[in-house]
Amino acid sequence: RKEVEQDPGPFNVPEGATVAFNCTYSNSASQSFFWYRQDCRKEPKLLMSVYSSGNEDGRFTAQLNRASQYISLLIRDSKLSDSATYLCVVFIYGGSQGNLIFGKGTKLSVKP
């Protein structure tokens, strides 16, 4: 069973559209949750952390449902520059340090 599952897409949307990504995780010991963004052949970069109460950062809204082990990301008024792969990431604290477990990513392409 995959630890972090995402719809791979691609999502092809016009500028200005609202798009939602979903993610499920299998390890109930997962402690923290994030959305990272990865541009083609670049390193992952933190987009936002995800909190149980839900959180918003400008056009981006993230939600977490611990009971369902489900994470979502909503992008409103999408821009051309939002085109990227969005990675759902969980932090599992094990041993002395813990590490990030990545989903395979959902590819978004915003068209003019």
Q: For another protein, which residue of 46, 66, 80, 111 counts as binding (CB under 8 A)?
A: 46
Q: For another protein, which residue of 24, 44, 74, 109 counts as binding (CB under 8 A)?
A: 44
100 binds another protein (CB under 8 A): yes
Which amino acid, 18? T
Residue 24 CB partners (closer than 8 Å, separation 6+): 4, 5, 68, 69, 70, 71
Q: Concatenated DSSP letters for 23-52?
A: EEE--TTEEEEEEEEE-TTS--EEEEEE-T
Q: For another protein, which residue of 24, 32, 55, 69 counts as binding (CB under 8 A)?
A: 32
41 binds another protein (CB under 8 A): yes
Q: For another protein, which residue of 12, 18, 31, 65 counts as binding (CB under 8 A)?
A: 31
64 binds another protein (CB under 8 A): no
107 vs 83: CA distance, rounded Å: 8
Q: Which residues bind another protein (CB under 8 A)?
A: 31-32, 38, 41-46, 87, 91, 93-105
